[in-house]
Amino acid sequence: MTEWVREYTDVLYAWALRKTGDRHLAEDLVQDTFLAAAEGIQNFEGKSSPGTWLLAILKYKIANHYRRAINRNTAHPGDDIMQTFFAANGHWKNSARPAGWQGPQEKLLEDAEFNDILSRCIRHLPESMQACIRLKFLEEKKGAEICQELGVSQTNYWQLVHRAKLQLRKCLEDNWFIKQ
């Protein structure tokens, strides 16, 4: 097992970091992966490489982490942001109605400072929303696949995406577009 830790830690960590965007969480998930592998080594049949087996364990650990995060957030994460943008009747508040962002947007994702602020905004989302945004927009997965991976209903998934987009909009307006 020690040899596997030396050989596969960097690859597993890179995968976990890409999926979570959180260094500490990625480290914890990789550690949990190796612990699970050590406890279940008798189940490793050698039909695949150790790296493939460890990656499968890590994928399960990541999905399980986000499932637990979603279950913890049953009190409708993002309700505050909903009240910021919408009146009681569900319509946009006049003061919060979307306006066009100023400046050249076609090359926005090539701007290092913008990407840094966007990453920080994503990291400030609740974990369940982070998972949805990362899987949908960064990994370009389909909604049904994301629902299955996170163990949520379609309705809950779309609600999380909607609320996350509202929070990202507010964060970007406060931290990027205000400066422009």
Residue 119 is predicted with a pLDDT of 85
State how far the alpha carbon of 45 is from the alpha carbons of 40, 52, 53, in Å: 11, 12, 10
Q: Angle at the Cα of 115 (from 112 to 119), degrees rounded to 5?
A: 140
* Alpha-carbon gap, residue 61 to 12, rounded angstroms: 12
pLDDT tens readout for residues 162-180: 888 888 888 888 777 655 4
pLDDT tens readout for residues 127-143: 888 888 888 888 888 98
Taking Cα atoms as reference points, which of 45, 19, 40 lies closest to residue 30? 19
pLDDT tens readout for residues 22-60: 889 889 999 999 999 988 888 888 888 888 889 989 988
Residue 70 contacts residue 152 (beta carbons within 8 Å): yes
Q: Domains (ranges, CATH) in the chain? A: 2-72 (1.10.1740), 79-177 (1.10.10.10)
